[in-house]
Structure formats: structure tokens, C-alpha cells
Amino acid sequence: MIPRHPQILNRNNTVLVAVDLQEPFLRNIHDRERVIKNCTLLIKAALTLSVPVLMTLQYADRMGGLVPEIAELFEDNLPPAYDKLIFSCCGNEDFNQAVAKDGRRQVLLCGVESHICVTQTALDLIHRGHQPHVAVDAVSSRSAECYKLGIDKMTATGVTPCSSEGAVYELLYSATAPEFKAILSLVK
């Protein structure tokens, strides 16, 4: 492997975090289909590349579980979802331990809402010594304005923005990787 810039995602150093993909939040989200499509791409690619996937739920007892479009991606191997009442995912200690497992420092974020839970999580991850990346096309908010404000705040405070497809190719690294054909079928 050639020496790489430290901001390029590396599959051996990355965890994918999908934030609050629940129907009550997605119901009124700006560009819902874009978010679901790109979160699906990221999750499928992560599973293909053996990148750990962490799911969070905001107040699951009241807001429910993952939307079926996301839950079905895991077939019968649905990972545990970290329930939280605090907006930042880092408010759940089990989540923090899962992120820190295996010493992975890069965290790729997708989900909702960009200006609330995703932003607070990203900033708390920086504070904890992680390098968060946000897949800008795999997050959103109820309004385009709040979505943009969330992205602006994250990038202004050190979160690395990326596209879902760009992140997948960074994780893949090379057209010679054994997973190349499987990944190619996901992005087409």
C-alpha cells in the first residue's frame, strides 16, 4: 500500500455510524429517498469490505426501530442498535466502547438529522480523538436550510465532508481489491 494522506478513509481504520434511521425522523426529512439510497450504499459497501457498522436509535421505545429498508440489509444479522436519549451518539457509553473497539480512529457518519444528532456526534467524536467524516449526500434534516447549516457547522469545526461514492472508493482503495466487482455493482 502506498503512503496515503491521513484524511483518506482506510477500511482497517474506519467505523460506519448510521444515525437514527427511524420512520418518525425520516418521514418529513428533506430528500428522504437520497438519504435512504446513500445510507444503503454505505451499509452494503461496509458489509462487503468488513467495515464495522454501528446503528443508533433515538428513544426507541417511543420512536421505534430502524426503517425496514435499512433493517433488511442485514438479513438475519442485524447488529444491535445503540439507543439514546441524548442527541449525540456519544451520550451512550456502549456506543463509545463500540467505536473505540479495535482502535479504529476514522468514523464515517450517515443518517439524520444533520444539524442535530449528526453534528453533535461528529463534534463529540473530534473531542474524543476520532476523525469524523460526514457523507454529505447520506445525511439530511427536515429542511434544506437546517441540512446546510449542519454541514456548514461540521466542516467549519474539522469534520471531513465526502460523498457516499467517494467514501466507498476510498475504503476500497484499489481496482485490484477482491471486492472490486461487488462494490462496482453497488455504485452502478
Q: Which helix (H) or strand (E) segment is 63 a member of?
A: helix 60-63
Residue 157 carries which DSSP code? T
pLDDT at 1: 73
- Amino acid letter, 65: G
pLDDT at 79: 84
20 flagged as catalytic: yes
Task: Please pick, among 90, 110, 117, 162, the residue that the annotation labels catalytic.
Answer: 117
14-187 belongs to which homologous superfamily?
Isochorismatase-like (3.40.50.850)
pLDDT at 7: 96
Mean pLDDT, 10 residues at a time, the chain of 188 residues: 92 98 96 98 97 96 94 86 96 96 96 98 98 98 98 98 98 97 94
pLDDT at 2: 85
**What global pTM score does this model have?**
0.97
Start-to-end CA distance of the chain, whole Å, equals: 26
pLDDT at 56: 97
pLDDT at 115: 98
Task: Choose among 91, 92, 129, 87: nearest CA to 107.
Answer: 129
Domain boundaries, the chain: 14-187
CB within 8 A of 58, min separation 6: which ones? 20, 22, 25, 83, 84, 85, 87, 117
Task: Please pick, among 39, 44, 84, 137, the residue that the annotation labels catalytic.
Answer: 84
